[in-house]
């Protein structure tokens, strides 16, 4: 199973120069806790609810401050053709909660730890079978 097959949530993106309040509105509208920051379709950062609070509100940034002022830059990404088990391992090894999925350098999805927990027994069974070497 490929990582792209595991990604379930909506892909929500924002430009680096967009205002912080717009990022918060997008999170509210789409029911997500993070948005991908992109330039020309390529991921350049991630901004999370925690980023908005800790790097934005706590530092008294105005709501019209740019997203790039609070985002985590240069996110770790995974290719859409990578195995789901490999993506899960990358999330675990790097203690990440979300992972941008790219195809040809362009963002196509966002996979989260929650995506692997939708139906834990079924997902784990599929991951174990996809990780086994062919006989």
The answer to whether the beta carbons of residues 111 and 6 sit under 8 Å apart is yes
The total domain count for the chain is 1
Cα 11–chain centre separation: 8
d(CA 79, CA 108): 9
Range of the domain at 87: 3-131
- The pLDDT value given to residue 120: 54
Taking only the tens of pLDDT, the chain with its 135 residues reads: 899 999 988 999 999 999 999 999 999 999 999 999 999 999 999 999 999 999 999 999 999 999 999 999 999 999 999 999 999 999 999 999 999 999 999 999 999 988 887 655 565 566 666 656 655
Identify the pLDDT of residue 37: 98
Q: Which helix (H) or strand (E) holds 98?
A: strand 98-103
Q: What per-residue confidence (pLDDT) applies to 124? A: 59
At residue 9, the pLDDT reads 85
CATH number at residue 96: 3.10.580.10
Supply the pLDDT for residue 117. Answer: 77
pTM for this predicted structure:
0.82
């Amino acid at each position: 199973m490929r990582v792209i097959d595991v990604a379930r949530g909506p892909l929500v993106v924002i430009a680096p120069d967009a205002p912080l309040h717009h990022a918060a509105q997008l999170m509210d509208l789409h029911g997500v806790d993070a948005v991908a920051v992109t330039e020309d379709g390529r991921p350049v950062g991630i901004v999370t609810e925690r980023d908005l609070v800790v790097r934005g509100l706590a530092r008294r940034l105005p709501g019209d401050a740019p997203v790039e002022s609070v985002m985590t830059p240069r996110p770790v990404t995974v290719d859409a053709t990578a195995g789901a088990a490999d993506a899960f391992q990358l999330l675990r090894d790097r203690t990440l909660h979300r992972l941008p999925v790219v195809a040809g350098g362009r963002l196509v999805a966002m996979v989260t730890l929650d995506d692997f927990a939708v139906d834990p027994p079924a997902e784990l069974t599929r991951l174990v079978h996809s990780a086994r070497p062919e006989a």
